[in-house]
Amino acid sequence: FFLNFVNFVKKAKKLDNDILVFPGQISIEEAKKLPKTVIFGGEFDLPKRDYLAFAETMKKTDRFVGLHMMPGVSHEYYYHFDQ
């Protein structure tokens, strides 16, 4: 068990600077390489701070199209349309 946990931690550490996992850490130079971007998120979304940081960086480029925050919903709200 312990070795599996150690391997998990080592793999997780590699994701710390991955902009696909944490897009709020993207540099302006990297953001300029992205296609036109619209960002959607929920009002009570756990990664809200990260997507807001991503939006602020994207606004400094010509790639930002818009940000839409769905009121009253949390993460993965789009999976619950049938409820």
Phi-psi region of 75 (alpha: psi -120 to 50; beta: other; left: phi over 0): beta
| Residue 54 burial (CB count, 10 A) | 23
Confidence of residue 78 (pLDDT cuts 50, 70, 90): low
**Cβ–Cβ under 8 Å, residues 11 and 18:** no
Q: What pLDDT was estimated at residue 38? A: 96
| Span 4-45, pLDDT tens digits | 777 777 777 777 788 888 899 999 999 999 999 999 988 898
**What mean pLDDT do residues 45-68 have?**
94
Q: Is the dihedral of CA 33, 77, 47, 51 positive or negative?
A: positive
